[in-house]
A and B are shown apart, each in its own frame.
Chain A
Amino acid sequence: MSEESIELDLLTSRPKGERDAEFAEFMAESMGALHRTALLLCGDVDRADELTQHALERTYRAWPRARRGDPLSYARRILVNLRIDGWRRTRREVLTDPHALPEREAAWNGPDHAHRDEVLRALLKLPLKQRRVVVLRYLLDLSEAQVAAELDIPLGTVKSTASRALLTLRSTLDAVTSRSAT
């Protein structure tokens, strides 16, 4: 083995089994949260799967760095910066057949989710940056400082964007909230 290879292993590698075990544990804890984030951002379950997988793959590649801090925050940062609204450029590779998941189908397509769908549609009408702020700040309950850090924007921008977005959402959803109240 060359000197370079040895140094590479020393500097960047952990035992493969240990890395994979750590990452598998991280996935078990975080995949659901990441998927929820993705779904709230894009409004499409399959696209959310794809975004979640991309984020996880890239987190795995950077695992030594990601694990040094908060891996979920690291993965979420990757996820929210993906091209949420972009056209799908590559076919996803390893998804489970959605039809093999009847509970998931039921959860998504059930008849009792009219309000949820209206809220998601209202979210999708927001410009992407407003949507990112709303999802992170209000739906995932991150602090304004965390949102600023994860989106790499100034704190003042988080505040003003969140305020504008909430106003727009409230206006769009006025009818829904009235129905809910009654």
Chain B
Amino acid sequence: MTRTDDEIFVSFLREQTLSTLPAPGLDPSNVLAASRRKRTVIRAARASAALVVAALAVVGVADLVGPRDGSAPPVDQVPPPSKSAILIGLAEGITAVNRPVEITLTDGSPALDLGLDDSWPGGDRVVLSEGSADGTAGASGDAGTPGAGVGLWVATADELLDQVTTLSWLPGDSAQDYLGGAYPAPTKVQHPYTGQTMIIGAVPAWISDATVTLHLATEVTLPDGTTSRSVEVPTFTAPTEDARLLYLISLDGTVGVSDGEGFAVTVADSEGHTVIAGCPDGDLQACIASVAHPVSPDTGPTMCAEFPPQPPGAGYEGWWSSSPAAADGSILTDPTDWPPIMREHPQTAMIDTRTGKVLVTYDRYACGPVADYAVPAGLGLPPDAVVVVDATTGEILETMSPPAFEPQW
């Protein structure tokens, strides 16, 4: 068997590099000491907030879980929840942020460490940073009123890396601000490959002593072994001037929501008045059904898995332009096997918000570019970024902000 040109060339590369590289200038004992020291510092910081993520995911939820189908466990069998745990386990595969820790990154940025560590690929922690990326008004769309907001980022101890999503709201809003419309639905983001999902939302400012509840389409197993379709969600204070109460729920790829099942979030006041985020008519089941993305392979137009060669999207590639592949490298042609985000957003456009220019579009129905796509008038986009938006709904799906993104490849 003869070697191909590529094999010969690769062999040349290896020969020229690997045999002549110097040894590391690191002293293993010093590295170990530094590792131990940094671990101690981090553990101490977290312990000061009494954060025991894994342990409290098990023991800390009992009396935070609200009305549900299953019966409550005997009180003497479940230790009381820690009020200071960063994360609380709500059910199997579902955790929520309870008491995030204020940190300052090495680059000087203040942030709230949400305790999710490296559960979202790309960094070793997930943080909230003040400032809405879109800088637009609050959810009511009142352009005359300044909005507040936060950015959800993947970060390291040193710096913010990639923005996952943003959340903005209208400070000091009242029920009257949403007459004729629903209070804004929480933002759901899903990692295209792991299926990990986060749901982040703001509690209405006019509801004091709020009880936030996540409602699901199917039952989940609670820490006490019972099952339920609803779990109460803790809230925390946003790192913004108006100190808005927020909630953030993290769901594993195994939870139904991550596979397109519906969900709803309700916020109730102490007198039982309830707002269903995103749904104006008060019908909880209809609300849950309305956000579901059932996979119906037998209906609807065919979607293509592999795009023919297109002009490079200014150097950015991702799930929107990629071919879903199995572990053996074969292309997955059945959309039911795709990462949910691929089939939920088959038509996308990449926009450079600095210039407003559409860099490239992808349409899995047409297996090519989106015909005659133009950026919709009034679409709120973050400044100084390249974004991927759903070409149909205008939803911002990915935000790549300098300096976190790479120039080209």
Range class of the A interface residue count:
35 or more
A57 with B38, Cβ < 8 A, contacts A128-B409, A154-B323, A154-B325 known? yes
* B25 contacts A by Cβ under 8 Å: yes
* B293 contacts A by Cβ under 8 Å: no
Chain A nearest CB, measured from B114 CB (Å) = 17
Which B residues between 6 and 47 are near A, CB-CB below 8 angstroms? Answer: 6, 9-10, 12-14, 16-18, 20-36, 38-39, 42, 47
Which B residues between 100 and 132 are near A, CB-CB below 8 angstroms? Answer: 106-107, 118, 121-124
Q: Which of B50-58, B167-175, B182-190, B383-391 participates in binding chain A?
A: B50-58
Give the residues in chain A near B54, CB-CB below 8 Å: 11-12
Expressed in whole angstroms, the Cα–Cα distance for A56 and B331 within the complex equals 35
Cβ B193 vs Cβ A152 within 8 A: yes
A27 with B324, Cβ < 8 A, contacts A129-B409, A157-B317 known? no
Expressed in whole angstroms, the Cα–Cα distance for A23 and B175 within the complex equals 57
Cβ B159 vs Cβ A27 within 8 A: no
Cβ A155 vs Cβ B325 within 8 A: yes
* B356 contacts A by Cβ under 8 Å: no
Which A residues between 1 and 53 are near B, CB-CB below 8 angstroms? Answer: 3-5, 7-8, 10-12, 20, 23-24, 27-28, 31-32, 34-36, 39-40, 45-46, 48-49, 52-53
Number of A-B contacts (CB under 8 A): 185
Instruction: Please name the residue on chain A nearest to B330 by beta carbon.
Output: A155
Instruction: Please name the residue on chain B nearest to A4 by beta carbon.
Output: B52
Cβ A56 vs Cβ B409 within 8 A: no
* B322 contacts A by Cβ under 8 Å: yes
Expressed in whole angstroms, the Cα–Cα distance for A169 and B8 within the complex equals 13
Which B residues between 288 and 337 are near A, CB-CB below 8 angstroms? Answer: 306, 315, 317, 319, 322-329, 331
* B225 contacts A by Cβ under 8 Å: no
Cβ A130 vs Cβ B409 within 8 A: yes
Expressed in whole angstroms, the Cα–Cα distance for A105 and B20 within the complex equals 12
* A68 contacts B by Cβ under 8 Å: no
Cβ B35 vs Cβ A107 within 8 A: no
Expressed in whole angstroms, the Cα–Cα distance for A127 and B76 within the complex equals 59
Interface size on B, residues (CB 8 A): 66
Give the residues in chain A near B328, CB-CB below 8 Å: 145
Among B21, B25, B27, the one with the most A-chain Cβ atoms within 10 Å of its Cβ is: B25
Cβ A58 vs Cβ B124 within 8 A: yes
> B322 touches which one: A128, A129, A157, A170 (CB < 8 A)?
A157
Give the residues in chain B near A96, CB-CB below 8 Å: 25-27, 30
Instruction: Please name the residue on chain A nearest to B305 by beta carbon.
Output: A156
Expressed in whole angstroms, the Cα–Cα distance for A152 and B325 within the complex equals 12
Cβ B323 vs Cβ A24 within 8 A: no
Give the residues in chain A near B26, CB-CB below 8 Å: 31, 35, 49, 52-53, 56, 94-96
Cβ B27 vs Cβ A89 within 8 A: no
Expressed in whole angstroms, the Cα–Cα distance for A138 and B12 within the complex equals 11
Cβ B35 vs Cβ A60 within 8 A: yes
Cβ B122 vs Cβ A81 within 8 A: yes
Cβ A180 vs Cβ B12 within 8 A: yes
Instruction: Please name the residue on chain A nearest to B408 by beta carbon.
Output: A127
A35 with B23, Cβ < 8 A, contacts A27-B28, A27-B31 known? yes
> B52 touches which one: A7, A78, A170 (CB < 8 A)?
A7
Q: Mark B141-162, 1 if CB is under 8 A from A, else 0.
A: 0000000000000001011000
Question: 12 A-B pairs, CB-CB below 8 angstroms?
Answer: A4-B82, A27-B28, A46-B25, A52-B26, A57-B35, A57-B38, A81-B122, A89-B158, A116-B17, A128-B406, A155-B329, A170-B9
Since A31-B28, A107-B20, A155-B326 are in contact, a sample of 5 more A-B pairs with Cβ atoms closer than 8 Å, ordered by chain A residue number, is A94-B30, A103-B23, A154-B322, A156-B306, A156-B329
